[in-house]
Structure 1
Amino acid sequence: MTNPLAGLFKARQKEAARLDLFARGMRLCGEYLAAHGETPTPRHTRLNRAIGAFAASLDTPSADPFDSLLKVGERALEAGGERGLDLALGVAETSTGIRQRSRGAWRLRGLALDGLGRGDEALECYQHHLTLLQDTAAAEHIVRRMDTLRRRRACLEEAVALFPGPAAPLRELLGRPTAVTAPEFAALVRAQVAEHGAGDPAVRRLLALYGTYRRLVERTGLSDPLLGGSTPIGVGGLRGLLEGRTVCLVSDAGETAPGARGAETDRYDLVVRCDALPARAQGERTDLHAVTLRGDAPWEGPAWTQPAGIRLVFGDPAAAWRRATRQRLVPGAQQQVGDASLRRPLTDPALLGEDGWDAATSTAFTVLRLLDFLDVSPRLDLIGFGVPGRLRPREAEWVMDHATDVDDSKMRIALR
């Protein structure tokens, strides 16, 4: 004979566990609010409102707090940063505990893990989401992200296979967060370049793998609607645009007369300028504009309003670079914008990979070295850089060591 009280007891146990999970979600929110001392931004304000709505739903008998809890996770994901992602993951784990077949909860869990660099775990959650969804066409962005994560893992595995002995530390880190594996991958690249030289076939393949890996780490492969309608351009795309074209890098210094400067630069196929342009340079031709992110909060700087065909933004770390490009780009001010593969050409092992250049390195020198490294322009000149102070001493020394001609009358230094 079935005991009716047994079913009631199980139902109450299940409800108690459910309430405990909601209470855990509220604790996570409280811990986040207690630790978050930054100046509120619109994203954090939306997160705070979502937390308030979740708290209110817990006190409303007719309300289902689950959707409100998921909204907290989505807003935490949007707020970003390590704390935001940790909150999003905690909320997602709580949500999947409450409803194990919630597609939204598994999607949120995958996105949070992905944001924290835990790609292998994110893949499992994404797959769970797709299994519940049963329609991959409705989640194309998740499918593409899974492909990106798998390709990233493949780069690491092939790198380990190329140099089994030296790559042993990297092999031990497969499946670990990106913050751990990326520095070890970079160390492997530097060590093999130093030992075998960049011309070694295996090293060349390793460099290609590292470049692909970094691009896959720092971008999702999806078009970014926050780039002001600009088309992202990577190393290969920039090389193609520069190939066979004469280039001049112009210093808009007061010593160079505007008329003379314009007449001189008109003879080049591509004119490059850097950083903030003085008022008198506004309206003059700028085919490529390069800028370096400075300070602790580079995203708070002025918008880049100078019209340019291509805009290159140099900066590190990646999170600050992404935030600054999204907040400071102006729709219509540029046709193309450099992607993450171009954000640190001096130190990136996939490009120049040189040590010793600090955050104070001038933008002019950074873009000059990038253009010189790509080595596809028949003519590469500097105009207006002959005056002391335009470049740092070590930078000026490098320029003069590589100069093929110096014309003081036109303040022109040729590197080709």
Structure 2
Amino acid sequence: MGQTLTGLLTSVRAIAGRPGTPPRARPGGGPDPELLAALRHCGDHLAALAASGPLTDARRTRLIASIGALTTACSTPGADAFDALLRTGQQALDSGGDAGARLALALADEATVLRARSKGAWRLRGNALDALGRSEEAITAYERHLALQQNAAASRDVERRIATLRAAGDRIDEALALVGGGEGATGAGVDAGAVRLSRHLPAADALAAFTELVRLRTAERGAADPAVRRLAALYAEHRRLADRDPMADPLLGGAEPIGVPGLRRFLAGRTVCLVADTPHTAEQEQRPGSSLAALIGGYNLVVRCDAVRHAAPTARTDLHAVTLRGDSPWKGARWDRRATARLVFGDPLPHWRLALRSRLVPGAQDRIGDATLRRPLHDPALLAEAAADADQPASTAFTVLRLLDFLGTPARVDLIGFEGPAALPPREREWIGARTGRTDDTAVRITLR
């Protein structure tokens, strides 16, 4: 990786020019000055990475690959490098830390100059400013994004983030008014703390100043004072808003959390089929008079897994199971397929919680699996077995099958359509083969129980 990084840095500097020289477009229709400036920012970041020692972080590796793609696009005549520029900015943001956020902001600045009406560029700028704690500037960038965004569904996350940032700032404003107004509100220490606190400060500085203000006010008037109690409540609300956005519907439309006992009751005595998401199965399921559609319709519970890309949105789903993948699984598409129950498998716990907050849709499920069901194949307390091989994580279908087998309450469990490209890995097929009661080739059905 060291040689690759050095070679890429050389290529970037060869295209963008030496450090300290103004970026200029090359003769004959070369890259725009903004792209050359973006490459210079990337070169500076690569130089810092090279000086930091060996790279073992997968997120930084992906950023380096993205910079390589941007470099190639900038050096290819006639190529449109704008999308590569935005992807590199997002990878910089995903790499974490202030350095990554600063690179993302620098690239977003060049992108907004290059295309002032790009909603992607303004959202990247808002996200970068947000990551750096520059809330008021982030709101302005987010609002520019919303003014260009035509998709109402895609706007909800940004609207919610703007509301959160404004609410956090409002807590600061109310705290300042509380300290600055009313009889006996003055005091040398409190005044100094109040002056340092502002909604326009970077988030970390604002939090530190808010903490100091609460400490000084409490020392001056005591924790039992009503104004101090209100100040402490505002501080707690500000801290919560700094950690996460509030959920539009914390109760998720009245969805009931269920654990192992609740899932066992939900499955008790019912026939269950796990349907593979393939074009053939989906087409047969929707065809009037299809024998496969009639077969699936005869089960008490229909289970589908992960992103259901082929089955129609109206196709019956009684249990939807999904496994969180990647470094930031909370950024995926929202789970809006209607299901009676939804199980989300994932680790670590903070990522699982954040994914539920970000991706669950109120009203899309009646029951949602709680934390006791988030990692059944890795929890000896649940399956009383060793953890699965980390190098070969279990498929979602296999996780569901093992869980159903362990619970033992369904009257029957069948797999439908798991052949060809949809076949499970050998290790999982071996486990299924040892428990198969019979196979129906006509319906491509495997009966476990």
Question: How high is the TM-score relative to the length of structure 1?
Answer: 0.53
Q: Distance in 2 between matches of 1:367 and 1:321?
A: 17
Instruction: Describe the SS at the equivalent of 2:434.
Output: helix
Whether 2:223 is the aligned partner of 1:100: answer yes
Q: Distance in 1 between matches of 2:387 and 2:206?
A: 33
Report the Cα offset of residue 250 of structure 1: 0.8
Task: Find the partner of 2:323 among 274, 292, 296.
Answer: 292
State the identity as a percent.
Answer: 46
Report the Cα offset of residue 317 of structure 1: 1.5
State the partner residue of 1:329.
360
Residues 308 and 59 from structure 1, CA distance in 2 versus in 1: closer, same or farther, beyond 3 angstroms? closer
Q: Deviations over 1:255-302 (max 9, x none)?
A: 332234321112211111111223443212111111112222222211
Write out aligned runs for 1:368-379 (5 A).
368-379=401-412
Report the Cα offset of residue 345 of structure 1: 1.0
Indicate conservation of the 8 Å contact 1:227/1:326, yes or no.
Answer: no
Write out aligned runs for 1:84-163 (5 A).
96-98=218-220, 99-101=222-224, 102-103=228-229
What count of residue pairs does the alignment treat as equivalent?
268
Write out aligned runs for 1:342-353 (5 A).
342-352=373-383, 353=385
State the partner residue of 1:382.
415
Indicate conservation of the 8 Å contact 2:344/2:369, yes or no.
Answer: yes
Q: Distance in 1 between matches of 2:271 and 2:209?
A: 51
Q: Distance in 2 between matches of 1:394 and 1:85?
A: 51
Q: Distance in 1 between matches of 2:178 and 2:168?
A: 16
Aligned-partner residue type, residue 387 of structure 2: D
Structure 2 residues without counterparts, runs of 5 or longer:
1-96, 102-126, 131-160, 241-248
Q: Distance in 2 between matches of 1:52 and 1:110?
A: 11
Larger RCO: 1 or 2 (CA < 8 Å, sep 6+)? 1
Q: Distance in 2 between matches of 1:112 and 1:50?
A: 9
Aligned-partner residue type, residue 385 of structure 1: F
Report the Cα offset of residue 364 of structure 1: 0.9
Report the Cα offset of residue 392 of structure 1: 2.3
Q: Distance in 2 between matches of 1:312 and 1:325?
A: 10
Residues 92 and 50 from structure 1, CA distance in 2 versus in 1: closer, same or farther, beyond 3 angstroms? same
Write out aligned runs for 1:128-207 (5 A).
none
Residues 89 and 282 from structure 1, CA distance in 2 versus in 1: closer, same or farther, beyond 3 angstroms? same
Q: Deviations over 1:373-412 (max 9, x none)?
A: 1011121111111335432222222211222222222211
State the partner residue of 2:388.
356
Aligned-partner residue type, residue 251 of structure 1: A
Report the Cα offset of residue 356 of structure 1: 2.4
Q: Distance in 2 between matches of 1:357 and 1:44?
A: 40
Q: Distance in 1 between matches of 2:317 and 2:400?
A: 14
Whether 2:365 is the aligned partner of 1:245: answer no
Whether 2:343 is the aligned partner of 1:312: answer yes
Instruction: Describe the SS at the equivalent of 2:376.
Output: coil
Report the Cα offset of residue 225 of structure 1: 2.2
Indicate conservation of the 8 Å contact 1:248/1:382, yes or no.
Answer: yes
Indicate conservation of the 8 Å contact 1:245/1:269, yes or no.
Answer: yes
Aligned-partner residue type, residue 49 of structure 1: G
Q: Distance in 1 between matches of 2:169 and 2:438?
A: 63
Instruction: Describe the SS at the equivalent of 1:241.
Output: helix
Residues 232 and 52 from structure 1, CA distance in 2 versus in 1: closer, same or farther, beyond 3 angstroms? closer
Residues 90 and 232 from structure 1, CA distance in 2 versus in 1: closer, same or farther, beyond 3 angstroms? farther
Single out whichever of 383-392 and 269-278 deviates more from structure 2.
383-392
State the partner residue of 1:408.
441
Residues 59 and 307 from structure 1, CA distance in 2 versus in 1: closer, same or farther, beyond 3 angstroms? closer
Q: Deviations over 1:350-378 (max 9, x none)?
A: 21253124384211111111111101112
Write out aligned runs for 1:66-81 (5 A).
none
Q: Distance in 2 between matches of 1:59 and 1:112?
A: 16
Indicate conservation of the 8 Å contact 1:308/1:335, yes or no.
Answer: yes
State the partner residue of 2:29.
none
Instruction: Describe the SS at the equivalent of 2:420.
Output: coil
Q: Distance in 1 between matches of 2:164 and 2:410?
A: 46
Q: Distance in 1 between matches of 2:329 and 2:259?
A: 22
Instruction: Describe the SS at the equivalent of 1:350.
Output: helix
Residues 340 and 93 from structure 1, CA distance in 2 versus in 1: closer, same or farther, beyond 3 angstroms? farther
Q: Deviations over 1:149-190 (max 9, x none)?
A: xxxxxxxxxxxxxxxxxxxxxxxxxxxxxxxxxxxxxxxxxx
Q: Distance in 2 between matches of 1:327 and 1:248?
A: 29
Residues 49 and 103 from structure 1, CA distance in 2 versus in 1: closer, same or farther, beyond 3 angstroms? closer
Instruction: Give the 4+ runs in structure 1 shifted more than 6 A.
Output: 33-36, 54-63, 82-92, 105-114
Indicate conservation of the 8 Å contact 1:248/1:271, yes or no.
Answer: yes
State the partner residue of 1:49.
169
Report the Cα offset of residue 49 of structure 1: 2.6
Q: Distance in 2 between matches of 1:280 and 1:270?
A: 16
Indicate conservation of the 8 Å contact 1:308/1:333, yes or no.
Answer: yes
Report the Cα offset of residue 308 of structure 1: 0.8
Indicate conservation of the 8 Å contact 1:92/1:106, yes or no.
Answer: yes
Indicate conservation of the 8 Å contact 2:279/2:311, yes or no.
Answer: no
Indicate conservation of the 8 Å contact 1:228/1:329, yes or no.
Answer: no
Q: Distance in 2 between matches of 1:385 and 1:362?
A: 12
Q: Distance in 1 between matches of 2:363 and 2:209?
A: 36
Single out whichever of 349-358 and 377-386 deviates more from structure 2.
349-358
Residues 93 and 267 from structure 1, CA distance in 2 versus in 1: closer, same or farther, beyond 3 angstroms? farther
Write out aligned runs for 1:387-398 (5 A).
387-398=420-431
Indicate conservation of the 8 Å contact 1:290/1:367, yes or no.
Answer: yes
State the partner residue of 2:21.
none
Q: Distance in 1 between matches of 2:419 and 2:299?
A: 19
Task: Find the partner of 1:276 among 307, 320, 324.
Answer: 307
Report the Cα offset of residue 303 of structure 1: 1.4
